Chains A and B, each alone.
Chain A
C-alpha cells in the first residue's frame, strides 16, 4: 500500500468517526472498499479538495451532512428485483405465512421503499396483506421521506413491470399506481400496513418479533464483522421458523453460530432454526 492511500484510509476512518461522534450515524464498519468509493465520490461532488475539508464542512453544516449521507448510503432498490426470488417467495414462503394469523415483516435498509411496496403488492395479491404489518426502516431520512410519499420516476416502472410479471404477479403492475407528469404515484391503499421508520441496523436494537425479514443487497456494503452483528440482531428478532431473505449476491457466513438454516439457498431464503 502506498503511503498516500495509507493516509487516505486514515482520513476516511477519521471522517467516519467524526460523523459518528457528531451525528450518531455509525458507518465505521461498512465495507472499506465501497465506503472509500462513496466517500471519494461525495468529495468530488462537494467540490472540496481534501477529505479534511469535507470533514470540516460536514461537522459544521447539518444540511450538508444530510446531502452527503444521502450519497454515502445506498438508495437503489427495485421492485421485484430478482424475479426468481419473488417467485420462490410466492410459491414456497407464502404458504407458510398463511398459517400465521398476524404477520410482521421487516424491510431492513428499505432505502426509497420500492421493495417494500412491491412486497405489499405481493401480499395483497396473496390475500395476506390485511394480516400484515410491514416495518420498512432505513437510516437515511431522505430516502424514507421519498418512500413515504410513494412517488417515483415513471421511467423505472417499465423494468419493475417486467420484474413483476416474471415474478409471477397476478395482475398488472400498472393497476397499483397512477402515472402523471413522468411520475408514478403508488396506490394509497398500499401504504395502509407499511410503517416507514428511521432505524439504524448498525446501532439500533430490534423492535419486535418478526416473521419475515428482508435485508436484500444491504450486506454487501458491510464488512464481515458488521454483517455478523446485524445477522445476530435478525436472529434475535425473527420468530423460530421465521424467514430471512438476503440479496442475490449475499450468503450467510459458512461457519457461524447463527441459528439459520437454508430454506431456498439459491434464492437466499433462510429460516430461523429456533
Chain B
C-alpha cells in the first residue's frame, strides 16, 4: 500500500484530480441542458418578439395606404397597395417558422380576406359608387379588418407565460447544475482534506518523536532511542539519529573518561605547583591521587639515588610517628613495593592478603579490594613506587590515569629535589657571597692603602737610594770596626747568657727561699710573741725581753724578705700597674698622717707642700706612688737627727731636664723629699740606688735597714714612667726628687729601663726648627746687640737688620716668628714697614713689637702690634719683650678674657684654660671687659652675651669697632636664645658661637683647645675680616656698596675690605632684602651679589633689579662658587656687570669695583 510519504501524497493528488474531472463533467452536462433551454428561448421567443411589431407596422401601413388611395381617389395608389400587401404576406411567410403554423395560416387568410374586401371597397369608393351595398361592403370590410388585426395580434402576441416558463426552466436547470457541482466539489474536497489530514497527522507524530529524541540526544540522554515505526523517511531519519546517538554516547563516554584523566592530571599538577619540598610533593601527590581515585590509603616511596625506597608521603595509613615513617623503607626488589619497582608496568593485586593493609577510620577498619603499585619512572629509570589501596573496582581508566600521572609525579619530585638542592646551594652561595663581599671590601681597602703606600714607598725609595750611597761609605768604615765588635759581641753574648741564667737562678732561688724562710719565720714570730706575752708567768723579765727581741728581729727579717721579693718582681717586670685617677691632695694627706708623728717623735720639723697649680688628679698607680713616698720619707726621717724633713709636690719647672726623654715639663710633676741629714758625697750618690748598698755601710750600722728601699723606689719610679734623682751635699742634707708624668704609662709589662744613668738631655722641643727665628730691626748697634744677646740666651735663633727695606725683603723670603721693630729707621720708618708687612699675605700675621724712643703705643696697637716698648728700656723689659715674641710663649698670645656672670660655669672653664697654660682674666661686666681690653691685648675673649650692663651684641660691635681687624678672637658662650638675625650678626662678629645646649661644655672646651693648638702651632687664629694685600691705588671713598650674601663671614670680610678703602657698606642677607634696600636707598653705587642664596637666588635678584627696578646702569658684580663653563655667561645674561669666582680675591674685587665705578663697566662686559 502507501508506505512512503511520496506514495501517500501521489494518492491524494490523484484523488483530487479525479474529483476535479467529475466536477467538470457534471458541470458540462448541466450546462448542456441549460443551453438547449436557452436556445429554445432564443430561437422561438426572440424572433416572435421582433415580427409582431413589424407585421403590425406593415399592416397599419397597408391600412393607411388604402385609406390614402381612397382619400385621393387614386387608382394607382390602390394598385400600389397590392405590393404592400404582397410584402406583408412575404414577411409573414418568412416568419412562418417562428409563428405557430396554424395561426400563421389563419392570419394569412384573414389578411387576404381583409385586403380583398378593402381593395374592393376602396375601388368602388374611388369609382364613386355609393349606395347601400357599399355601406355593407364597408362594414364587411371593417369586420374583416378587425378580424385580421385581432388575428395578427394574436399571432404575434408574445406569450409571457410561456417565456417565463422557459426562463424558469432554464434557471431551474442552472440552480440544479450549481447544486450538483457543489455537491460533487464538496465531496471531492472532503476526500482530499481527509486524506491530507491523515497524512499530516502521521508525519507530525513522527517528527515530534524525532525532535523529542534529538532534543534528548542534545541533552546528552542517549539511552532512550527514537522509536522508528514503519519504513517511512522519518523512521529512517530516526534510525539514523539513533545510530548517531549511539556514536555520540560512545564519544561522550570516551570524552568523560578522557576528562577525568585530564582533570586528574591537571589537579595533580595544580596540587604540585609552587615551591615544595620533596616530602610535600610526596604527601600532596598521594593525598590527591588517593582522594581522586577514592582510594582510602596510599603511600609513595622514593629512591633518591640509592637502592633503598623510602616513604616520601602517605595517605590514610595508620598514623605513625615520623621515625617509623622514616624507617619505612624497602630495598628495591624487596616486598611488594620493591618488586613493583623492578618493572615498568602497573602491578595490580586484585585481592590483597587480608592483613596486608588495613584502612582505619573512626568507625571501623576495612581491607581495600585491590592494591595497585605504580612504578614512577624518571628518565627511563624507576625511581619510586606509588602504592594505592582501592575500594573502587579496578578499571582501565584508573590504570590510564596512573600511568599518565607518573611522569608528572616523577618530574615534580625531581624538581622539588633539585630545588631543595638548589636552595641549599643558594644559601651556601649567599653565605659565600657575603663572605666574598666582605673580602672584596677588605681587598679594596687594602688596595687603596697599597696604592698610597706605593706612592710613599716610591718617595722613600729615592731617599733611600741617596742614603744608600752615603751608607756605603760608612759601611766600609764600619766593616773594619765590625770585626772588633764581633769579637766583643760574642764575649758579651756569652756573658749575657750566663747572666740570664744566673738571674733566673736568682729569681728562682729567691722565690724558693722566701717561701722556705717564711714558713719557719712565721712559727718563730708566733712563738716568740706567745713567749713575750708570758701568759704562764714563768719567764723572767729578762727572758720576756729576749722574746721581744726575737719577735722584733723576726719582723725585720720578714720585711726584708718581702722587699727582696718586691724587688725581684719589679726587676723581672712582673709588677703590674693599676692606673687610676689619684688626687694629689690625698698623697700629701697620706704623708702628713703617716710621717708627721714619726718626725715629731724624733723632734724633727716636718713640712708638706702641694703646688696649687697642679691638676687635682693625676693618672697613676696610687699604691706604687705611696710606696715611693714611704721609702723616701722613711729614709729621710731615719737618717736625719735634727733639723727638718720636707715634702714638696710641685709642677716641673719650665725647661726642666729629665733623664727620660718621654717626660715633658708640661706634663710632669715632682715629689721632692728634702732632709737636713748627713748628706751623701757626690761619688756615692749613685751607689745608694744599688741593692744592698748603704753609704758607709761598714762604718755606720746605726741605721740598720735592708738597703733595698731606694732601689725599689727607683724601680717603681721607672715603672710609673718617671725618674728618681738625688742631689746632696754631705753634711747639709739630701733631696730625693721623683719626677712622674701626669699620666702613667698604661699598664705596660715592659717598662723601658734606664741602665745608663747619665743620659744626654732630650733636645728642647723647638717649633719648626730653623724656621722660627726672631727678627730685630734696629739701626742702633748697641741696642740691637743687647737684643740679640737676650734672644740667644733664650735659646732662639735670631737675625738682625738695620733698615726697613732689608727687613721687608727678609720677611718675605723667610718669615720670622716675631719682629722687634724700631720706629726710627734710616729708610722707611717703622710704621711704613708695619703697613707693608700687613699688606702682604705672607707677612700679615707676623707678630710685631715696636721699640721706640717716641710715643706711639696707641697707634702701634691700632695697627695690630703685639706691644710697644719705650726706650730706654731695662734689660728685664727686653727679656719680657723677647719672651712675648718667643714661639708658643708669647704672653699676649696666652691672655684670655672670660666675661661670664655665672661663676660656677666659669670656674670649670677657667680651670681648663689654666691647664692649657693660658693666662686668664675674669670679669663680670661689659664695662670691666672693655676696660681690660683697653689696658691689655687679649688673644681671645670668651663671652656670655647676658651681661648686666650692656647688650652682648652691642658689646661685640663696640669691640670690633674699637680694635678693628686686630680685635681678639671672640668665642660667644651663651644660654640666651638667639633670633635668626641675631645669630647671623653674631656670625659676623664672633669667631664662633657656642649655645649652652646639648654637649655645649665639651664643645666649648674643644673650641678653646682648638684655639690654643692653633696658637701653639704658630698658626694665626682665623681672623675675621683680615685684609691683607690690598692694592694701594684703589680708593672707594664716598662710594656706597651693597653686599648681598647670606654668609655673614663673607659679608664681614668683604665689608672690611671695602671699608678699608673708604667705601660705605650696606648689607642684605637675602635677595629680597637686597631689593627692598635698593628701593629705599637710591644712591647705591655698586652691588656685590652672591648667587647661591635661599629664598631668592642671585640670578633672580639681579633679573629683578634690572627688569623690575629698571636699574640698568647699576654695576652688579656676581660672586659665585660656580666656575663651570657657562656660569659666567649665565650671570651676565641675567644682568650682572661682571663676575668674580669665590673665594673672593680682595685685590681682584677692588680692581673690578674700581673699573666698574669709573666707567669701565661696559668695557668689562665686552671683555667677557
Footprint of B on A, CB under 8 Å? 23-26, 94-102, 104, 130-131, 133, 135, 193, 195, 197-200, 203-209, 224, 236, 239-241, 249, 251, 253-255, 273-274
Contacts and interface: CB of A to CB of B under 8 A. Distances in A.
Contact of B983 (A102, A193, A239): A102
Most buried by B among A24, A26, A97, A207: A207
Contacts, number: 122
B1124 A274 contact: no
B970 interface: no
B936 interface: no
Contact of A205 (B995, B1014, B1142): B1142
B284 to A, nearest CB: 33
Contacts of B448: 224, 253
Nearest to A101: B983
B1003 A135 contact: no
3 closest residue pairs by CB, A with B: A24-B1125, A98-B998, A207-B1121
B1121 A204 contact: yes
A99 B999 contact: yes
A241 B1094 contact: no
Given A206-B1142, A208-B1050, A95 B998 contact: yes
Contacts of B1003: 96, 99, 241
B1124 A206 contact: no
Given A98-B1000, A249-B441, 12 more contacts: A23-B1125, A24-B1126, A25-B1124, A96-B999, A101-B983, A101-B986, A131-B980, A195-B1094, A205-B1121, A208-B1049, A224-B448, A249-B444
B1006 interface: yes
Interface in B997-1048: 997-1000, 1002-1004, 1006-1007, 1010-1011, 1013-1014, 1022, 1046-1047
B984 interface: yes
A31 B733 CA distance: 74
A24 B451 CA distance: 30
A99 B445 CA distance: 35
Nearest to A249: B441
B133 interface: no
A249 B444 CA distance: 9
A197 B1093 CA distance: 9
B1125 A195 contact: no
B1123 A98 contact: no
B452 interface: yes
A200 B1126 CA distance: 12
A25 B1092 CA distance: 19
B1014 A274 contact: yes
A200 B1124 contact: yes
B1003 to A, nearest CB: 5
30 contacts: A23-B1126, A24-B1125, A24-B1127, A99-B995, A99-B996, A99-B998, A100-B993, A100-B994, A101-B986, A101-B993, A130-B980, A131-B980, A193-B1094, A195-B1092, A197-B1092, A199-B1121, A200-B1122, A203-B1123, A203-B1124, A204-B1124, A205-B1121, A206-B1143, A207-B1120, A208-B1046, A208-B1047, A241-B1003, A249-B441, A249-B444, A251-B445, A274-B1014
A239 to B, nearest CB: 7
Nearest to B1045: A208
A52 B1006 CA distance: 56
B926 to A, nearest CB: 20
Interface of B: 441, 444-445, 448-449, 451-453, 456, 978, 980, 982-984, 986-987, 992-1000, 1002-1004, 1006-1007, 1010-1011, 1013-1014, 1022, 1046-1047, 1049-1050, 1090, 1092-1094, 1097, 1120-1127, 1141-1143
A123 to B, nearest CB: 13
Most buried by B among A97, A102, A130, A200: A102
Contacts of B1011: 274
Most buried by B among A198, A224, A241, A249: A241
A25 B1126 CA distance: 10
B1122 A199 contact: yes
Contacts of B978: 101
A224 B1022 CA distance: 29
Given A100-B993, A100-B995, A249-B441, A204 B1047 contact: no
Contacts of A209: 1047, 1049
A90 B324 CA distance: 58
B452 to A, nearest CB: 6
A254 B445 CA distance: 10
A254 B452 contact: yes
B439 to A, nearest CB: 14
A96 B997 CA distance: 8
Contacts of B995: 98-101
A248 to B, nearest CB: 9
Contacts of B987: 101-102
Contacts of A198: 1122
Contacts of A98: 995, 997-1000
A101 B1123 CA distance: 31
A262 to B, nearest CB: 14
Given A102-B983, A131-B983, A205 B999 contact: no
Contacts of B1121: 199, 204-207
Nearest to B441: A249
Contacts of B1142: 205-207
A273 B1006 CA distance: 10
Given A253-B448, A274-B1010, A96 B998 contact: yes
B441 A195 contact: no
Contacts of B980: 102, 130-131
A241 B1010 contact: yes
A205 B1093 CA distance: 15
Contacts of A273: 1010
Nearest to B1019: A274
Nearest to A127: B997
Contacts of A95: 998-999
Contacts of A26: 1124
A251 B448 CA distance: 10
